[in-house]
């Protein structure tokens, strides 16, 4: 692959931690929500092995927050998601598909309920703030939409628990999965959730005060020496093995939440009101004709810039959306949108690259 530099500009925003990660060996950025998101340090495979054994600190400030405040805030949030949030509790995170009026995917954020009338939508890569602003003003809701200056640091990996306990004390270990609370460190308060885009365990620190956040960043590295802490970023191998979907890669605005396997986050039975509900009722009556599944391919490497067709005896099986070599499975693994005729897990297919046909098989997500 040819390598190019990314030209920085005001509209391609950095984060409070950009200087830190650049001096710590960053080798690639990607863009996410019009910001810089670190994409590589030592290389995806090395970072994958490290993440599964030690602890990493990720600058994921590009996971922007859309803040919604006001007496209609819950109503506005519910309008955008098919997940029933009517019983949502303060202090909890909710993974929730956001959809449009046609029932198609817009984003798959983590939604946090901070107060009865204050929410954050922690975004994947799409302009949800504009969608929310349009709905709020168009429907004359009492719901103020803004992007607060909040920058997430994720602390991920099996040793994240020991590292965070060392810095923040015993109380942090009592935080339950997808819960959040404020924690004290040297006179500063930090908003911390037990969450993150890996299945290796860990926390996300929602930094509201940049100076205090930089101080904490340095502390994570000095206190983390004994746990072999390294800077990192969301890892392609780990997230595919774990079945964590990527908005814009695995699915986009052409797909509905049933096709993405988000069934457990869809409620078309209760009387909640969301855009695209009618469309989802129709889709659920008709049944879907394709869905995201895992794949394993007899290959030692792959590059994915666009989706790739998968064939079986000259017939289209589906499209490969994300793929990477997995050191665990010793082959390429991926996420593909598979046509209904081929959902049987005994299905095999061929993927043609540079006029060479490579054999592959369909499997469940998460991969086993």
Residues that bind ligand THG (CB under 6 A): 63, 95, 108-110, 122-124, 152, 178, 195-197, 204, 244
Number of H helices, E strands in the chain: 8, 21
Residue 6 CB, nearest approach to ligand THG (Å): 21
| C-beta of 128 vs 163, nearer to ligand THG | 128
User: Would you say 194 or 331 has its CB closer to ligand THG?
Assistant: 194
Nearer to ligand THG, 128 or 302 (CB): 128
Query: For residue 252, what are its two tokens?
Result: 């986009």
**CB within 8 Å of 247: residues ≥ 6 apart:** 105, 107, 108, 124, 125, 126
Minimum CB separation from ligand THG for residue 154, in Å? 7
Instruction: Identify which of residues 234 and 360 has a Cβ nearer to ligand THG in the complex.
Output: 234
Structure tokens at 41: 């340090």
Neighbour count for residue 250 (Cβ, 10 Å)? 25
| CB atoms near residue 97 (< 10 Å) | 26
334 within 8 A of 240, measured Cβ to Cβ: yes
User: From the CB of 105, what's the least distance to ligand THG, in Å?
Assistant: 12
DSSP H helices, 71-226, are 73-80, 128-138, 160-168, 210-223
CB of 177 to ligand THG, least distance (A): 7
- 235 Cβ contact list (under 8 Å, min separation 6): 44, 47, 48, 51, 198
Start-to-end C-alpha separation, the chain = 30
Q: What value, to the nearest 5°, has the Cα angle with vertex 107 and ends 105 and 112?
A: 130
And the tokens for 168? 């923040």
Residue 221 Cβ, how far from ligand THG at the closest point, in Å? 21
State the nearest-atom distance from the C-beta of 220 to ligand THG, in Å: 17
292, β-bridge pairs: 337
Choose between 14 and 243: whose C-beta lies nearer to ligand THG: 243
Supply φ then ψ for residue 224, to 5 degrees: -85, -5
For the CB of residue 60, give the shortest distance to ligand THG in the complex, in Å: 7
For residue 265, the minimal CB distance to ligand THG (Å) is 7
CA distance 47 to 39: 11
Provide the token pair at 47.
Answer: 């970072």
Residue 141 or 260 having the CB closest to ligand THG: 260
**Residue (51 or 244) nearer to ligand THG, CB:** 244
Longest CA–CA span in the chain (Å) reads 66
Question: What is the CB-side half-sphere exposure of residue 354 using CA atoms within 13 A?
Answer: 3
Using the minimum distance from each CB to ligand THG, give the nearer residue, 124 or 295. 124
Please identify, using beta-carbon distances, which residue of 10 and 264 lies nearer to ligand THG.
264
Least CB distance to ligand THG at residue 2 (A): 29
């Amino acid at each position: 692959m040819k390598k190019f530099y990314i030209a920085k500009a005001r509209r391609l925003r950095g984060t409070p931690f950009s200087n830190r990660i650049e001096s710590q060996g960053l080798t690639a950025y990607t863009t996410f929500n019009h910001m810089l998101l670190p994409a590589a340090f030592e290389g995806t495979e090395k970072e994958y092995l490290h993440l599964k054994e030690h602890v990493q600190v990720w600058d994921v400030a590009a996971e922007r927050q859309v803040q919604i405040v006001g007496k209609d805030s819950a109503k506005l949030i519910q309008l955008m998601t098919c997940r029933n949030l009517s019983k949502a509790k303060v202090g909890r995170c909710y993974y929730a598909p956001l959809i449009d009026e046609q029932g198609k995917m817009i984003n798959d954020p983590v939604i946090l309920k901070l107060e009865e009338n204050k929410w954050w939508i922690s975004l994947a890569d799409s302009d949800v703030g504009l969608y929310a602003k349009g709905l709020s003003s168009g429907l004359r809701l009492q719901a103020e939409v803004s992007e607060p200056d909040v920058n997430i640091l994720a602390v991920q990996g099996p040793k994240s628990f020991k590292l965070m306990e060392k810095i923040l004390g015993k109380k942090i270990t009592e935080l339950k999965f997808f819960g959040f609370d404020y924690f004290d460190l040297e006179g500063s308060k930090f908003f911390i959730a037990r969450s993150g885009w890996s299945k290796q365990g860990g926390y996300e620190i929602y930094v509201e005060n940049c100076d205090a956040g930089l101080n904490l960043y340095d502390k994570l590295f000095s206190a983390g020496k004994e746990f072999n802490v390294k800077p990192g970023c969301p890892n392609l191998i780990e997230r595919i093995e774990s079945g964590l979907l990527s908005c814009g890669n695995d699915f986009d605005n052409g797909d509905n939440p049933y096709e993405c396997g988000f069934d457990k986050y869809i409620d078309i039975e209760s009387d909640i009101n969301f855009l695209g509900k009618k469309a989802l009722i129709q889709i659920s009556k008709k049944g879907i004709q394709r869905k995201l599944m895992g794949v394993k391919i007899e290959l030692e490497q792959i590059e994915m810039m666009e989706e790739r067709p998968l064939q079986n005896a000259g017939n289209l099986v589906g499209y490969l959306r994300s793929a990477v070599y997995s050191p665990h499975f010793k082959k390429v693994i991926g996420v593909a949108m598979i046509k209904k005729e081929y959902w049987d897990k005994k299905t095999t297919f061929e993927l043609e690259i540079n006029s060479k046909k490579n054999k592959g098989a369909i499997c469940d997500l998460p991969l086993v």
